[in-house]
Amino acid sequence: MRWVYIAQAASDIYNAGTGVASTFVDMITAYFHARGESPSIGFIPMPETLSAQYQNLTQADMSTLRLAGFQATPTLPGDGVAETLKQIRRLAVM
d(CA 73, CA 62): 11
Angle between helices 77-93 and 24-34 (to 10 degrees): 40
d(CA 87, CA 82): 9
**Is pLDDT of 58 > 80?**
no
User: What confidence score (pLDDT) does residue 88 get?
Assistant: 92
For the chain, what are the domain ranges? 2-93
Q: Angle at CA 21, nearest 5°, toward 82 and 45? A: 90
Residues 28-46, mean pLDDT to the nearest whole number: 91
Q: How confident is the model at residue 94 (pLDDT cuts 50, 70, 90)?
A: low
**Is pLDDT of 32 > 90?**
yes
Residues 41-61, mean pLDDT to the nearest whole number: 85
Average pLDDT of the chain, as a whole number: 86
